[in-house]
Amino acid sequence: MAKRKKHDSAKSAILAIIAVCIALALFACYIFYKKKGYIGPQEFTYPTNYEEYVLKYSREYNVEPEFIYAVIKTESSFDENAVSNVGARGLMQLMEDAYSWVKYRIDDQSEYNFDVMFDPETNIKYGTYYLSFLLEKYDGSIDLAAAAYHCGLGLVDSWIESGTIDPQNFSVDQIPEENDQTSHYINKINKAYDAYKSILKEDKNNGEKGSKKQSKAA
């Protein structure tokens, strides 16, 4: 009987040690991903990788970082080597004709070709410029910019010209049923956009709290 109690006690101690090790490993993972740019409780679902480039081109082209992150999340789930079944490449999944158009518009004199879309910074730069163009064209509408990014501005313009959609009072249910993938895309963008607004607001608030504590300490 004594041996059995001793065995049970040893087993409990081992399980306790394993539990502590697991907790420490999870905490280490949390710290690692936090430093890599993941923020808040939604860090694994809505990462904020490539923050340096997102913020840089957000400022340069006047596009909300939340919108840029939402497009990256929806298009590639942050896979810089992603290639779609129609040939779109990189984080923001630009097609070759869109790449060439942006390259001309920003007067990029580099000798790089379409392969450069696998470079995270260049992809985010080009994708953000394209978003800025679409936002300006559609009077700042996230929904219409997202629709045009997904199915092409030519199709969106045809909907507007035919009266199929009302750009002043747009809703996804105005999109023709045969283009329901675009409706689904807009909904995914909005879901991610709202999530990133919450995440980045939390990060900003935490940063401000940290600054205040440092000021008081000084």
Q: Domain ranges for the chain, please list them.
A: 1-35, 51-217
Name the amino acid, one letter, at 144. L
CATH number of 51-217: 1.10.530.10
Q: Spot the catalytic one: 75, 80, 121, 208.
A: 75
Residues above pLDDT 90, as percent of the chain: 71
Q: What is the pLDDT of residue 165?
A: 97
Q: What is the pLDDT of residue 13?
A: 57
In tens, the pLDDT along 165-181 reads: 999 999 999 999 999 99
CA distances to 21, 96, 114 from 31, in Å:
15, 38, 36
Confidence of residue 35 (pLDDT cuts 50, 70, 90): very low
Residue 15 pLDDT > 60: yes
Provide the 10 A C-beta neighbour count for residue 67. 23
Q: What is the pLDDT of residue 42?
A: 52
Catalytic residue list contains 75: yes
DSSP label at residue 163: T
Q: Is 127 left (phi over 0), alpha (psi -120 to 50) or beta?
A: alpha
Q: Using CA atoms, how far apart are residues 76 and 42, in angstroms rounded to an integer? A: 18
Confidence of residue 203 (pLDDT cuts 50, 70, 90): low
